[in-house]
Structures are given as structure tokens and as C-alpha cells.
A and B are shown apart, each in its own frame.
Chain A
Amino acid sequence: MGKDIREDISWAKINEDVLRSLESPRRLYWVILLVAMLAFSVGIGCEVYQYNVGMGVANLDNPHVWGLYIATFIFWIGMSHSGTLLSAILHLMHADWRKPIYRFAEAMTTFSLMTAGLFVMVHLGRLWQFYYSLPYPNERALWPNFQSPLLWDAMAIFTYLSSSVIFLFIGMIPDLAICRDHLHPGWRKKLYTLLALGWEGTDRQWRNFRITYLTVACFLIPLAVSVHSIVASDFAMSQQPGWHVTSFPPYFVAGALYSGCAAIVTLFIILRYVFKFEEYMTLPILKKTVRLTFAIAMVWTYLNAVEFAAVWYSHDQAAKDVLIQKATGPYAPFWWMMIFCGSVVPLTLAFKRFQTNIPVLFAVSLLLNLGMWLERWMIVAPTFSHGYYPWTWDHNQWPSLIQWGMVFGSFGWFALLFMVFCKVFPSVSMYEVKEMVYHRRLASESQAAAKGAH
């Protein structure tokens, strides 16, 4: 296995390579951007229509009151987690191979959270009254219901989003300073000058920077866990068969990290090509990420099994019925597909041969995410179709094109934000790559010295 990164790259070259990504990406970049815009405008169209005509256009009904919106909402929340995994957890573990790739992972976190936020909105029957659910002193002297898991969601997502934005920004300050110093004048230079807050890399700044970065990282890890366990409690706290499951929080968190890692692999491959980052986003790093993904995939598979087992051995007949319903009822094809994508497909990653085979990885990572999306859908929908009350069982209700349109559009929205970000801000952390190179060189030199001594 090769080195994660060449140790003889000069710091100047790092600067210039990364800065180049802000100037001249491959043509593919613009193609992606265009497609994203189209997809997003489709989503917008659907929402406008739904807003004016009513939720009915989503073809939801009683009892199927929730649909793809909630499922996709969970999906995006999940997606956001591995950003934190890479930047925070691995940071604490001093796994320095994360350094070239954590920046875009964090960006992914931020933007998928924004996307998730959109789904809360489009789900609401009366979007125009959204402000009712915000806690602020108002002339009605009313507060939202703090008992509702949905409100916890809102709170958690707000915390998580703001924190990750800050984390992303703080971590970027030294790089912004670099951009400020080394880009030719223009609106961007002004922007960077503003955002760099006059960073000069003095010892005082670095000292506090180190502590701050560490602290925020420490906060972010429990936060990330809490966020998805709260999303899980939307279901676990409810009383419905198939939702009222104790193991949901860890299960959701695992699923989140899983889909996140898969997404990172996908984006890794795209960025690597689009911005010519072969030097930094190297195959060995990719390999590490893939192995991480594989590990988490297995965790998820296990927790899945645990959940089924728990239901199976419980005395809750209704829950059992729902589970059987999933495996045999109208949703069976999707359910089995989820099992396949989520638990079988990742096995390919166990093979060294595939761990660095970019086309395979690309395909696999997409399949994994498909599986994870299906998982969310399979959590939400079947419970409605086969709940406690037999009279209202309803097995033939399917999402309308409007719902699909918005799901589709959300990917456009995400891609749009993400791609714009990567073009405007350095998606590889220059100063940390420098540190990485520096420390690795020191290390290997000392090794060499040690050898020489013998």
C-alpha cells in the first residue's frame, strides 16, 4: 500500500494546486452544475404546485399521512453525519489521513442538513404558518409544544447546522488567509479578506485556534449522535407498531454514518476527478475510507438484525404483523432491495481488488445510498399501511410524481450548493495538508536517522 501522500510536495505547490481548483475545474464541473440546477428547478416547480393546490397532490391519504418527504428528510440528516465523523472523531484520534478530505466532508454535512431542513418545510400542510413552531415571545402568548419530537428535531438540526457551519468556517480561516494572500485581486479577494478576519498565523492565533478547534470537535461528536437519535425518536417515541422500537436511536446513527460514508466515497471520486486532486485525494486514503464504510455497513447490518429479532421475540403482535407486512406485502420488493443494497452489496468492499477500483466503488457507493434511502422509506411507509386499526389498513397507496419530483429536486439542490462551495472555497485544507506533509516527513526522516544509527 502506497503512501497516503507524497512527502516531498513543497508547501508552495500545495498552495498553487489547491488554489488552481478555485480557478479552472474540468468541464464536467459545469455539466454537473447545470444538471443540478435543472433538477432543483423541477423540485421548486413541484413545491409551488403543492403549496397552491394542497397536500393532496402528493397523493397522501388517511392513514398514509407521511410519505417520501419524511423518509428523504431522514436520509439527508443521515448523510450529514459522516462529515462530523471524519473531521471531528478522526481529528481527535489524530488520524491525519483525514486531512485532505475532511473539508468537503464537512461541507457535505452542512449542505445535506440544509436540504433536510427543506423537507421539514415541504412536508407541512400549512407552510405559511411555519413560524407557529418557532419558540419566540409572540403576541399570542403561545409557545410551541416542547414535548414533540418534531420540535426536538428542529432544535437539534438548528444546533447541528449552526455548529457545523461554524466548525467549517473556523477550520477554513487559515486557508482563507492563504487565498487572500495568493489570489489576484477581484471580488473573491475582497470576500476572502473579509472572511479571513485578518488571520496572520501568529503564535497567539494558532494557540487559541488549536484549542477552539479541538473543543468544537468535542462538542460536535455528541451533538451528531444526539441529532440522529432525536430523529429516531420521532418514531421511537411514537406508539405505532414498527416504530416503537427501543433500538432505533443507535440504529439510526449507524445508518447515518453508513450513508454518510458512502456519500463521501461518491463525492471523493467526483471531486478527485473534477478538480484534479489526484495528488491529495489519493487512492490509499480512498482505501481507508472504503474500509471504514465497510465496517459501518456491517454494524448497520447487525443492528438491523437486532431490530428484527427484537420484534420477533417481543409479544407485540402488531409490530410483528408490520414486519411480516414489510417482507411479504406490497412493499416487499423495496424492502428486500434495501436488504440487498445495504447488507450484500458492501461485501464487495471486503475485497482489496475493489477497494481502489474507482468505477466499482462509484457504482457501489451509489447503490449503498440507494439502499439507505430505501431503508428510511421502509421505516416510514409500511407502518401506515398496516397499523393498529385493521379497518384503516390501506395497502395500495403510492407517492405521486410530485413527491418524487421533490426528492429528485433535493439532490439537485444539494449538488448545486456543494459544487458552488467547492468552486468558491478550497475543498482541500491546505494548511492541514502542509502539516500532514511536514509531520510525515519529520517522521520518515527520524526513521531514516534511526536506521543510519544502526
Chain B
Amino acid sequence: MSVSNLLENWSKVRHTHPVGDVPHEEYKWAMAIDLDACTGCNACSVACYAENNIAVVGKEKYAHGQAMHWMRIERYWDEDEREFPDQGAQFLPMMCQQCEAAPCETVCPVGATNHTADGLNSQVYNRCVGSRYCSANCPFKVRYFNWWDYPDQENAWPDEMKQQLNPDVTVRTKGVMEKCTFCVQRLTAAKNMARNEGRLVKDGEVQTACQQACPTNAISFGNLVDAESRVHKQWKQQQVELAEDAQAKDEYFTDLRGYRILEDLRAYPSVMYLERVRESAI
């Protein structure tokens, strides 16, 4: 791209995102996770392992904090020092939040992680040199680094199990950063099919592995641009704005459950969580 071209498209290369940006045209993949429905059963996590060729690291490496689970279920207790947690535990599925203004993107020295046109936070394994700056700058710490050469680790994929590997997903070798991709391989396939038919992907046509597995339908995923999509409706109903770092509704509509984690860091996550509801009377 030549200097002249740079000067021609100056305004084009100068706008910021998502604030003051041209909005996403065709797709903006987003999620809504209903913590009231989520039972913390781990099905999504295992489904993710199955879909995305995630390595099983084994006891010893897990002990070193080198687990690779792209989707982790976090379990929280109430913090008032009651003798028993008689309101149960709080579960939270945490995966890459696909931030609109992701802190990880700017710092990658080789540009291996970027914001795609569909509003995803792409991670290009083969471009990654392993500086790990992205993970260092990730507020949620949902990026996982290949500390070891898992493809060659006997316990990760013995020969028989190699046959289970999903050919649509690269198997990451040592020294590469990886993270949740919103099952981009499925998205790409769906988009291609839609393009062949000269249309856009319809809601429900494509599911992420975690969403598809979730026994309580706690996870809904779809195209935020598409007004018909469930996700769009949920975000709208909960009055959560993608390009806000503090939701206006929090001021006066306290009876809405939608929120995004660490919103004030201005990363503009694409995952909206719905607060858990608990009966106060009993």
C-alpha cells in the first residue's frame, strides 16, 4: 500500500473503534450468558476441548498452572463469613471476551492478534512468536500459552487419539499463544455456505461448541447486527450497549440483569453476562 494511497485513505485509517466508529456491517458475533441458568456442570468446557483440539496437560503441568482450558468454569462463594454457603455457589463460565477494543491486540509485536471485520479477536497461531505480551495485558487472563510441545506429549494425544483431532483447527505447537475463538471454524463454514446462497448467516444457523452442548441453554450466541437474533434481543432488552464503558441503565434500571465484566477498563467485551437470581424469601 503506497504512501499516495495512505494519503488518499487518510480518514479511513484514522477512525477509532468501537467508539466513533463505522459500525459492523454484516456480522458482529457476540454472546449472552445467563448465570441464572448456568449450573456449572462443565459440559461447555469439555465440548470446547473436543471441538478445538485443546491439549490435556496432565496432573503435573496442571499443578504448574499450565492448563489450556479455553473455557473455564469459575466457582465463587459468598464473602460474608456465614458458616454454610446456604445460598449455594456462584458459577461463571469465563472465556475470551472478544473485546471490541482488546488490550491484547495493540501490544502484539507481530500483529498476530487483531480485530476482525466480524468483531472477533483473532489469534493467528502461525504468526505468533510467543512474546506473551498479549496475555500479560489481558485483564481476564483468558489467553493460554503453549509452554510445552503438547502434540508430542504422550498424554495429550497418543496415536489413537490423534484421529479425533478436528482438521478445521490447527494443532498448536510449543511457543504459541492460544485462546477461545468463538469456534471461528464453524463461523467461517456457515459464512461460506451463506455466501454461496448470496445471503447472511441466519440466527441459530451456527452454534459455538459450548453453546451447543450447554444442557440449560445458558449460552446464546449470534450476530449482534441481526435484529432478529436472540443475542441482539437479549442485549437490547438488558439495555447493554456495546460501545459504552458504563451502562446508562445501571443508573436507573436496577431490575435488569445484564452486565459485562470489568467494563470500566474500556475493553468493550462482546460477552454479556446475566446476573444470577436467587429467591430472597426462602
- Direct touch of chains A and B (CB < 8 A): yes
Partner of A149, one of B67, B107, B135: B107
On chain B, the residues within 8 Å of A384 by CB distance are 136
User: How distant is the Cα of A66 from the Cα of B128 in the complex, in angstroms?
Assistant: 16
User: Does B129 make an interface contact (CB < 8 A)?
Assistant: yes
- Report yes or no: B136 in contact with A238, Cβ–Cβ below 8 A: yes
- Report yes or no: A133 in contact with B110, Cβ–Cβ below 8 A: yes
- Report yes or no: A125 in contact with B145, Cβ–Cβ below 8 A: yes
- Report yes or no: A53 in contact with B148, Cβ–Cβ below 8 A: yes
Q: Which of A107-115, A389-397, A426-434 makes up part of the contact surface? A: A389-397
Residue picked from B94, B103, B137, most chain A C-beta under 10 Å: B137
- Report yes or no: B147 in contact with A126, Cβ–Cβ below 8 A: no
- Give B119-147 interface residues, CB cut-off 8 Å to A: 127-133, 135-137, 139-141, 143-147
User: How distant is the Cα of A384 from the Cα of B137 in the complex, in angstroms?
Assistant: 10
- Report yes or no: A54 in contact with B109, Cβ–Cβ below 8 A: no
User: Does A64 make an interface contact (CB < 8 A)?
Assistant: yes
- Report yes or no: A133 in contact with B129, Cβ–Cβ below 8 A: yes
Chain B residues with a Cβ closer than 8 Å to the other chain, count: 41
- Report yes or no: B106 in contact with A147, Cβ–Cβ below 8 A: yes
What is the distance, in angstroms, from A218's C-beta to the closest C-beta of chain B?
Answer: 30
- Report yes or no: A133 in contact with B65, Cβ–Cβ below 8 A: no
Q: Are A62 and B146 CB-contacts (below 8 A) given A56-B61, A389-B141?
A: no
User: Does A329 make an interface contact (CB < 8 A)?
Assistant: no
What is the distance, in angstroms, from A10's C-beta to the closest C-beta of chain B?
Answer: 55
- Report yes or no: B109 in contact with A63, Cβ–Cβ below 8 A: no
For the residues of B in contact with A, the DSSP-based class is: loop
- Report yes or no: A54 in contact with B131, Cβ–Cβ below 8 A: no
- Tier of interface size on chain A: 35 or more
- Report yes or no: A145 in contact with B64, Cβ–Cβ below 8 A: no
On chain B, the residues within 8 Å of A150 by CB distance are 107, 109, 131, 133
User: How distant is the Cα of A151 from the Cα of B129 in the complex, in angstroms?
Assistant: 13
What is the distance, in angstroms, from A287's C-beta to the closest C-beta of chain B?
Answer: 43
- Give A148-186 interface residues, CB cut-off 8 Å to B: 148-151, 154
Q: Are A397 and B65 CB-contacts (below 8 A) given A66-B132, A239-B137?
A: yes
Partner of B139, one of A125, A130, A387: A387
User: Does A143 make an interface contact (CB < 8 A)?
Assistant: yes
User: Does B247 make an interface contact (CB < 8 A)?
Assistant: no
User: Does B74 make an interface contact (CB < 8 A)?
Assistant: yes
Closest to A152 in B: B109
- Report yes or no: B128 in contact with A62, Cβ–Cβ below 8 A: no
On chain B, the residues within 8 Å of A154 by CB distance are 109
What is the distance, in angstroms, from B13's C-beta to the closest C-beta of chain A?
Answer: 13
- Report yes or no: B131 in contact with A62, Cβ–Cβ below 8 A: no
Closest to A66 in B: B136
- Report yes or no: A65 in contact with B139, Cβ–Cβ below 8 A: no
User: How distant is the Cα of A234 from the Cα of B127 in the complex, in angstroms?
Assistant: 21
Q: Are A145 and B108 CB-contacts (below 8 A) given A124-B129, A126-B128, A130-B129?
A: yes
Q: Are A55 and B65 CB-contacts (below 8 A) given A238-B136, A389-B141?
A: no
A-contact 0/1 string along B49-92, CB 8 Å cutoff: 00000000000010011110000101000000000000000000
- Give A28-62 interface residues, CB cut-off 8 Å to B: 53-56, 59-62
- Nearest first, the 6 closest Cβ-Cβ pairs linking A and B are A125-B130, A125-B175, A56-B147, A61-B65, A145-B111, A126-B175
21 A-B pairs in the complex with CB atoms less than 8 angstroms apart: A54-B149, A55-B130, A55-B145, A55-B147, A56-B148, A61-B66, A63-B65, A66-B132, A123-B132, A125-B128, A125-B129, A126-B129, A145-B106, A145-B108, A148-B107, A148-B111, A237-B107, A239-B137, A239-B265, A392-B141, A397-B65
Apart from the given pairs A56-B147, A145-B110, A388-B262, 7 other A-B contacts in the complex at a CB distance below 8 Å: A61-B66, A62-B135, A123-B132, A125-B130, A125-B132, A144-B111, A145-B109
